[in-house]
Structure 1
């Protein structure tokens, strides 16, 4: 009788899908929203009868953990990959399952922002499904503006104004700072420099991605101003120790008034301090020559080693569906969906902060979608750190970085 009962239970478990488990790795800022993920994943489990094991990783450790797993052929069934070159890099190494056929036949494909597809493409084949996107902006604390006698409805628009505002706000003795400069050995530093580089009229690589393009007067001017905000003017906490995620949390506690942020910042800063709702805002980041932003976000990829590729695609398309994104926006108000229909139909369309985002998005450039990008990014991080630590002059650091980038790209 016991054997019969056990057999019946096992059959029921198999029918309900409890015998199958998918693993998904979630990295970056959205990993912090664990409660929301639990609700969304539970909805998938109930609809498809498949268990999902979720692992959350912070941005600082996620890349190394994912690469180690993929190299060993022991990756998850589904993973987040940064739109900053990760997907073509992983695809070139043969670590990812091509998704071209699934994407061609998926109902949501026409709704994905068209400028996102190149970030997940390698050799004309798509290996990732863009899940959320963003463009970097100036995130600022309105209360700290008011306390410094600044108009919170008139954020700085130029580099000169950025410095002026930051100096008025900064009181280092009280550990109050005007602007947060990212100088850690992470992608945040590359993104920070790129914001200033493109705002100065420069660019990272040539249009064909064949060689470095930042060792120019524009690139040098950007490097000097970006590092001088911390070194010369002292308006930032120690940039070697902190980056934009830290500054967002400091902003929530009224310690840093301005930093690079984006649509992902809204739910996170409000989670850090619910009382800051309505007391922060965003604006186009101050620029020198031209408005500038850097496009970012995450895509969902299926590792080649996954034994559950079909079910992994079910989860990827479920997470990127119209209904799930609408629930996410209703509950969290961000980040920015990769789906145009959600952007238009959700409450985002009426939010003044999101109006700034949609106006800024056309100025956003993508990080080079080439396999060598992670190595290039590392050279930018080293360049910035060498200047911040006074180990090299800006002129020396940018020349060495450009030479190293050209070597990475095979320039002879």
Structure 2
């Protein structure tokens, strides 16, 4: 897998990435700083981090200097600039990415530093303390979830879980879903149909939203929930015509056709579920624990909100995956690796990590920090109980390294609207998706070489 030391990274490895861009991910890396006294390694040095504007606040940059003695130079995340820096041999020291969709993609292109030796020596980030979600950042040259570690999630959600508003259920006389036992996808959709409210041809309250973080992760996790895999054994092809993948695709197209919630043919004007759910215009929201930070800040909303397990297909396995896992990785050609690792430890295991864990905006990726998750109010206690029960059902759903989340999304959104409008059968759609996506996967595999 690894190139010889000093060899330049081939630009052709990034042709598809340059065209499509890397998946950005929904979760922010930001958090408030808490002072921690630690030993300092790399004091006086500068570490360049390529992240988004809200990933690293100016206050956190100051806190890093105070805690570690290291100066952070933040540059805006830009995929074109990242490719140029990687191919010129002058990359940032740390780069943000989404574990689920990006880790295997970059690892297959041989630009990520293997971090196992760093973890082995660290007293801050111990392997036994890593939540299994961090396996999203592992890749063995073939399968995501196995092999070397190339990064770490800053926190996470099990993104197939959903929130529901009990007031919306009560208004329509619909029984509340269980907070411990999963509903079937069929039951979820039936509830959404009963919960939707319309007036004069307009939807005033959507019955439910179920779109996943990306269509790549949504289709892969739903196919796994049906008992199959969206990909061939070598991850070089998709097949939407298998019974399991077709079941997932048919369910989602049915959801779109019924117009019970937002989709490509009925987009949410807010761009995401948060404001719509907060306004009482969305009865169920497939966003996972992550959105609990928003809900918890609104006492009235918190009183009527519940977190429910990821749905299952009747007869299928109980799968509750993370579709994000946003975090950081270190380029193999980074110039300041020891100082970068010190910032990595600080960011994922010290002040920022503790602040994030206590915020309610994500599950900490270190098991030792779970005790900091909010658990004071009745709302927090209920949410935490539901989430802790769901953690037992986490598993990594491996994705292909041959296409970005953005490229998959673009192709999916080009082909599916006709089926969502009832103008194309699911079987015809499955064939067309296979054709356009497999063409991209073939090119991606050729570029990895």
Same fold (TM over 0.5): yes
Counterpart CA distance in 1 for 2:133 and 2:85 is 29
Q: What secondary structure, in the 3-state scheme, does the structure 2 residue paired with 1:282 have?
A: strand
Q: Deviation per CA, 1:40-95, whole angstroms, max 9, x where unpaired?
A: 443222112333344677xxxx7677556645666533222211241232133233
Counterpart CA distance in 2 for 1:38 and 1:270 is 26
Counterpart CA distance in 1 for 2:79 and 2:286 is 21
State the partner residue of 1:49.
69
Q: What secondary structure, in the 3-state scheme, does the structure 1 residue paired with 2:154 have?
A: strand
State the partner residue of 1:89.
105
Of residues 20, 29, 47 in structure 2, which corresponds to 1:22?
47
State the partner residue of 1:148.
172
Over the residues paired in the alignment, what is the CA RMSD in angstroms? 3.7
State the partner residue of 2:363.
336
Of residues 300, 319, 324 in structure 1, which corresponds to 2:347?
319
- Counterpart contact for 2:98–2:326, Cα < 8 Å: yes
State the partner residue of 2:9.
none
Of residues 98, 119, 122 in structure 2, which corresponds to 1:106?
122
Of residues 401, 405, 429 in structure 2, which corresponds to 1:397?
429
Q: What secondary structure, in the 3-state scheme, does the structure 2 residue paired with 1:80 have?
A: strand
Of residues 207, 213, 218 in structure 2, which corresponds to 1:178?
207
Alignment of 1:82-231 (within 5 A): 82-107=98-123, 108=125, 109-114=127-132, 116-117=134-135, 119-123=137-141, 124-136=147-159, 137-152=161-176, 154=178, 157-172=183-198, 173-182=202-211, 188-206=214-232, 209=235, 211-212=237-238, 214-231=240-257
User: Post-superposition shift, 1:393?
Assistant: 2.4
TM-score by length of structure 2 reads: 0.71
User: Post-superposition shift, 1:257?
Assistant: 1.4
After superposition, the Cα gap between the structure-2 partners of 1:246 and 1:67, relative to the gap in structure 1 and judged at 3 Å, is: farther
TM-score by length of structure 1 reads: 0.77
Counterpart CA distance in 1 for 2:239 and 2:60 is 43
Counterpart CA distance in 2 for 1:237 and 1:98 is 40
- Counterpart contact for 1:247–1:259, Cα < 8 Å: yes
User: Post-superposition shift, 1:178?
Assistant: 0.6
Q: Are 2:281 and 1:255 equivalent residues in the alignment? A: yes
After superposition, the Cα gap between the structure-2 partners of 1:54 and 1:257, relative to the gap in structure 1 and judged at 3 Å, is: farther
Unpaired runs of 5+ in structure 2? 1-41, 142-146
State the partner residue of 2:312.
287
Which shows bigger deviation, 131-140 or 114-123? 114-123
User: Post-superposition shift, 1:226?
Assistant: 1.1
User: Post-superposition shift, 1:395?
Assistant: 0.7
Counterpart CA distance in 2 for 1:393 and 1:234 is 17
State the partner residue of 2:96.
80
